[in-house]
Amino acid sequence: MNSRQILPETPVLATRLPAVGTTVFTRMSALAAEHGAVNLGQGFPDFACEPKLVDMVSDAMRAGFNQYPMMTGAPVLRQAIAAKIAAHYGHQYDVNAEITVTAGATQALTTAILCAVHPGDEVIVLEPAYDSYLPAIELAGGVAVRVQMAVGEAGYSVPWGQVQAAVSGKTRMIVINTPHNPTGTVLRAADMQALADIVRGSNILILSDEVYEHMVYDGQRHESICRHPELAARSFVVSSFGKTYHVTGWKIGYVAAPAALMVEFRKVHQYNVFSINTPMQHGIASYMADPAPYQQLPAFYQRKRDIFRNGLQGSRFELLPADGTYFQCVRYGAISGMPEAEFAEWVTTEVKVAAIPVSAFYQQGKESGIVRFCFAKKDDTLALALERLAAI
């Protein structure tokens, strides 16, 4: 018998995502915790949701809604979603065939890409871009075609001429995000018309990330794809209850799409998650009977935006427009010539306020001298952060 010890050996695994490591949000949150910094980096509120919502979820648990729901989502929640979309945007989706409840918006976005994009298909993505888009395209075997948003004194905008130029015979999908993370840009009716002009007569699909739909300020309206029948007919529209109701950790969202697209979406959805937390679905459905919480959201977050912007007036930060979302982008060129990632680490460790470098939202890390702060925080959290930032 061979007495030599045989050590266990782990097989080598070839990565599906060679360019992906730990996200910048995880790194900056860890750095903020390590240095006791006010965390204005990762996009989540530091305040609680309305207790009534928690009570409604608890009531659903006690009522016995604790087993698997339908794969497509609890009917009562899908009905509430369809009613809200019809009331706000004037588009009627079929409750049974055109709405699916998802495990947050990221799962909805990834599933839409996986069901629609085949190897070699091209997907146009606007940079800076939310970090889940490109990995999902890569997992699907697609090719991301990146178009950079223009940035000037008036903030960021979509160069639709460049988007048109990026379209080829291989283009399968265009991904848009409005209100836009990280820039706070809100697409207008003219943008939607430009997009419609590009895709008209083609087989190009649209994936519209609208998770910040209720965070549009200064009296402007959210130009949902759902408002535009020509676009809605070729689109997956994604939103998030986590963003709307201050419960990002619940990871519940939804997608609305024409029945022919939803058939394919559900084929993937049923095998990558199948169904979503049952009592939370019923609790949210009950909570949605009152539209006030999301109707009041623009004023709620506009106040916080204005607190943050007013607190930095007169500082050495240059404020970019923040028309939507709960993010504020700032230029820091009057403070430092450091690259964005280095500056974000410096402001986190030395000033004790965490930020996110906007360069992290570009695949190749474009440097613009801009970082992003999140103002979805308690007033005293914002006051402490502003005191530190204004002192730089």
Q: Where residue 35 sits, what CATH number does that domain have?
A: 3.90.1150.10
Q: Where are the beta strands (DSSP E) in the chain?
A: 38-39, 99-102, 122-127, 143-148, 150-152, 155-157, 171-177, 205-209, 235-240, 253-256, 318-319, 327-331, 353-354, 356-357, 370-374
Phi, psi angles (nearest 5°) of residue 75: -55, -40
Domain-located, residue 8: no
Q: pLDDT at position 3, please?
A: 62
277, 307, 312, 285: which is closest to 391 by C-alpha?
A: 312
Same domain, 221 and 324: no
> Which pLDDT value is given to residue 2?
59
Final residue before a domain boundary, out of 293, 327, 351: 293
Domain membership of residue 370 (yes or no) is yes
Residue 7 is assigned to a structural domain of this protein: no
- Show the domain range for 199: 52-293
Q: Write the CATH number for 170.
A: 3.40.640.10
Q: What total of structural domains would you count in the chain? A: 2
State whether 263 and 355 are in the same domain: no
Q: Which of 278, 293, 308 is the last residue of a domain?
A: 293
Domain shared by 44 and 96, yes or no: no
pLDDT at residue 9, as a whole number: 92
Whether residue 271 is found in the same domain as residue 337: no
Asked if residue 18 belongs to a domain, the reply is no
Q: Are residues 149 and 212 in the same domain?
A: yes
Output the pLDDT for position 21: 83
**Helices (H), ranges, 200-328:** 229-232, 241-244, 259-272, 278-287, 292-295, 297-312
Kindly state whether residue 123 falls inside one of the protein's structural domains: yes
Asked if 262 and 386 sit in the same domain, the reply is no
Report CA 174 to chain centroid distance, whole Å: 16
Domain C-terminal end among 237, 267, 293 = 293
pTM for the complete prediction?
Answer: 0.96
Q: What is the pLDDT along the chain (392 residues), one digit of tens a residue?
A: 556 788 899 999 999 999 888 888 889 999 999 999 999 998 999 999 999 999 999 999 999 999 999 999 999 999 999 999 999 999 999 999 999 999 999 999 999 999 999 999 999 999 999 999 999 999 999 999 999 999 988 899 999 999 999 999 999 999 999 999 999 999 999 999 999 999 999 999 999 999 999 999 999 999 999 999 999 999 999 999 999 999 999 999 999 999 999 999 999 999 999 999 999 999 999 999 999 999 999 999 999 999 999 999 999 999 999 999 999 999 999 999 999 999 999 999 999 999 999 999 999 989 999 999 999 999 999 999 999 999 99
Q: Cβ distance 268 to 111 under 8 Å?
A: yes
Say if residue 191 is in the same domain as residue 89: yes
In a domain, 4, yes or no: no
386 CA to centre of own chain: 25
Token digits of residue 160: 């639709």
Based on the fold, state whether residues 37 and 123 are members of the same structural domain.
Answer: no
15 assigned to some structural domain: no
**Cβ pair 352, 28 in contact under 8 A:** no
Structural domain contains residue 240: yes
Q: Are residues 369 and 245 in the same domain?
A: no
Is there a single domain that holds both residue 268 and residue 309?
A: no
The reply to whether 321 and 380 lie within a common domain is yes
Domain co-membership, 332 together with 271: no
